[in-house]
Amino acid sequence: MALVPSSSVDPPIIAEVEMNGSDLGATTVRATVVQASTVFYDTPATLDKAERLLAEAASYGSQLVVFPEAFIGGYPRGSTFGVTLGNRSVKGKEEFRKYHASAIDVPGPEVDRLAALAGKYKVFLVMGAIERAGYTLYCTVLFFDPQGQYLGKHRKLMPTGLERIIWGFGDGSTIPVYDTPLGKIGALICWENRMPLLRTALYAKGVEIYCAPTADARETWQASMTHIALEGGCFVLSANQFCRRKDYPSPPDYIFSGLGEEPSPETVVCKGGSVIISPSGTVLAGPNYEGEALISADLDLGEIVRAKFDFDVVGHYSRPDVLSLTVRDHPQDPVLFTSASKTESSEKQLVMKPF
């Protein structure tokens, strides 16, 4: 499958970045956002497609590649999973079973393969995936480095609308920003990018390359991405899927709700809009609404410093004497166990303690 390049860069491959001390002005990073659809209900085929896309992006010299929200596992657009208030249908439960089977364990064999692909093509990889943790699913972003190492994950903190029926809620323990040779990389997913306090947590961690995998193809999304670039003084890389009805299983196996009559196979059900924006609010590449594409740009990291001179949201433009934010960044476990051995040890200490 040939993708249409949508790019502000020329084909030659850039040499591997070496940071010149703390001089960001000497650093340029070639980044690509992928606009492509999942092979729905077929995770092995989706991973094969991801490799083809990574290989093509690497051939353009890309050093950072960002995939859309839920690329592995799929974004179940148009599905209700048979849910009405007070009721869940048998067919909807079976639909969830199939969706659960398409998700991936983290860690797991699919994560190992993605890590190997990042190492093979020598890119930093930011991948949207549906994570399976027992019987609960999470909308997750996975991070990998060019040495083929899995770095960690971000779980979507606040699923939107009906997403709350099928996805669990993340917590403050997975809001990472990774300090890499390309800059400090972090990610938030879709509408949680509209949460000012959550964005502020990323800004406080020094995010410089802000990844925003999404499922929102509306033009209003572009305003949010531009605002974040200006507010955070960071590059914003937003990746969305471009999907037609035929990219999902055919009816009756998969029914699109809320669109009136069943759409034809060629009907566009998500038109993309993937984009790369600079810290000054300049659109460097995209938005693309035409089809599947690799959207690339060269990021001059000196732009971050120049933007922060005007407005540093958690630096000289903050007022901690008036405004502050507390982030609870520890895991929120539903059940806590006390070790029996520790309990016995404590009891012995109490018995032996002199009065």
Q: Catalytic site residues?
A: 69
At residue 8's C-alpha, the angle toward residues 143 and 114, to 5°, is 20
Q: What is the largest CA-CA distance in the chain?
A: 83
- Residue 273 — left, alpha, or beta (φ > 0 → left; ψ -120 to 50 → alpha)? left
Half-sphere CA count of 333, side-chain side, radius 13 A: 4
Bridge partners (DSSP) of residue 283 are: 277
Distance CA 32, CA 257 (A): 33
Distance CA 96, CA 163 (A): 12
Q: Strand 177-180 to strand 235-238: parallel, antiparallel, or no bridges (unpaired)?
A: unpaired
Residue 302: burial class (beta carbons within 10 Å; 0-12, 13-18, 19+): middle
Classify 290 as helix, strand or coil.
coil
Nearest in space to 73 (alpha carbons), one of 101, 95, 49, 114: 101
Residue 211 near residue 31, CB atoms below 8 Å: no
Q: Cβ–Cβ contacts within 10 Å for residue 314, how many?
A: 17
Bridge partners (DSSP) of residue 264 are: none
Tokens at 106, concatenated: 């983290």
Nearest in space to 64 (alpha carbons), one of 143, 175, 174, 128: 143
